[in-house]
Amino acid sequence: MMKIKLLTLGCLVAMSHGAYADVVQDAKVQLDFRNFYMHRNPDTKPVPEFEHWSQSANLSIQSGYADLGPLSVGLDGSVRHAERLIKNDDELVRDGSMPNDPGTGRQQQDQTQLGLTLKAKIADTEIRYGQLMPTLPVVHIDHSRNLPTTFKGLMLESKDIQNTKITAGRITRIMARDKEDFEKLTLDVNKTGAVSDGLNVFGVDYRVNPNLDVSYFYGGLEDIYHQHYVGLKHKHQFSEQSKLVTDVRVYDTQDASKSLQGEIDNQAYNFMTMLHYGPHKFGLGYQHMSGETAFPLLSGWTPAPFLTQWGSISFYKAKERSLQLRYDYDFSAMGIEGLNFMTRYITADHIKHPTIADVKENEWNVVLNYGIKEGLFKGLGFQYMFIKTDFEGAGVKLDEHRFYTNYSIKF
């Protein structure tokens, strides 16, 4: 592993020195810093209270393309490192922020992630091989902690057909947000210990007209599940000041082939509509989990933000029905550029539970973002997030505070 890391670092250094060479054009180098603090305070025991505070730096290099006839090629790379700034009272807590030592179980002091991606392009079709950061309905990165969840594999994206984007690929490994190496894919709740050889992905995004987008995606986790997704997004413009944006999304997931993780039977129906009126947004969302099992999540607590109710609780349990009320405000209307506020409340019931008859859960979020867009401190941003969760019936209540400070330098 050390040899691989040294080779990766050597490639990045070589790329940075050769960024302006004739064979590589339009190279981009960016250095990102993030300071991340999280405090989770449960009202109930034995759920442990814990704090996490860490600082990270991420060097990313995106090369331009060298032309080889009709084919253009390039190489991207990244080095990410995070250092823990405080120790938890309970060092055995697994909070998903840093790796835990496999021997002692204690959270490690630091974390390093490295990645390389070879890319090739013909016209408006690009193929990427190596580290991938997809944001798709069937597989998605996670940037909620200091270092992200990333993937390894092959991915094609084509925009050669007008108003259409085609995505296809195969993902074979995952590096979770609290890991330093790639591992085989499985489910987050790994009931059998079995893993999959890969996730096959295919999708089409099509713009019907300026106000209507439709999409279809397939995600097949070999020998574990088949997943189909259909999405529709519609925008209705009432005036310059107001519009209504509506998302309708449906998932159907069934166990596949060898069914290495047992029965999977889930249909997720999602609806979210947002009324934009000047600096205000008013949202209403509903989600219904049908079928006999919960929505399957990939290992490493990989997020599923295309579920309209995705949050800290996530609302993905079998038979669960959830309702969301949301409000956003953009303070630029008051002359404060870069300041945004969001609050939402999600409540859910009808959850299928093996031992508890009446399980309900709810979550309240408050998020405040401020990003400096001009001047000496351009690229500096702050975020505060308050999360309050209540698992009624299960008897668990949590309050959580998160603070992010981000700073980006582009060379």
pLDDT at 3: 45
d(CA 405, CA 411): 20
Which residues, in sequence order, are CB contacts of 45 under 8 Å at separation 6+?
Answer: none
User: Is residue 105 predicted with pLDDT exceeding 90?
Assistant: no
What percent of the chain has pLDDT above 90?
80
DSSP code of residue 317: S
What are the pLDDT digits (tens) for 328-361? 999 999 999 999 999 999 999 999 988 877 789 9
User: Is residue 47 predicted with pLDDT exceeding 80?
Assistant: no
pTM score of the predicted model? 0.92
What are the pLDDT digits (tens) for 149-160? 999 999 999 999
User: Is residue 172 predicted with pLDDT exceeding 50?
Assistant: yes
Of 353-357, 385-389, 393-397, least confident by mean pLDDT is: 393-397
d(CA 98, CA 177): 7
User: Is residue 7 predicted with pLDDT exceeding 70?
Assistant: no
User: Is residue 253 predicted with pLDDT exceeding 70?
Assistant: yes
- Its domain, for residue 346, covers 2-410
User: Is residue 258 predicted with pLDDT exceeding 60?
Assistant: yes
pLDDT at 208: 98
Mean pLDDT computed over 99-120: 93
Count of structural domains within the chain: 1
DSSP code of residue 8: H
What DSSP line would sit under 34-91, residue for residue?
EEEEEEEEESSSSSPPEEEEEEEEEEEEE---EEETTEEEEEEEEEEEEEE-S--SST
What CATH number is associated with residue 17?
2.40.160.10
Contact predicate 231/252, CB 8 Å = no
Mean pLDDT, the chain, as a whole number?
A: 92
pLDDT at 88: 76
Could you tell me the two tokens for 283?
């949202």
What percent of the chain has pLDDT above 70?
93
Mean pLDDT computed over 379-402: 90
Mean pLDDT computed over 172-189: 96
pLDDT at 45: 67
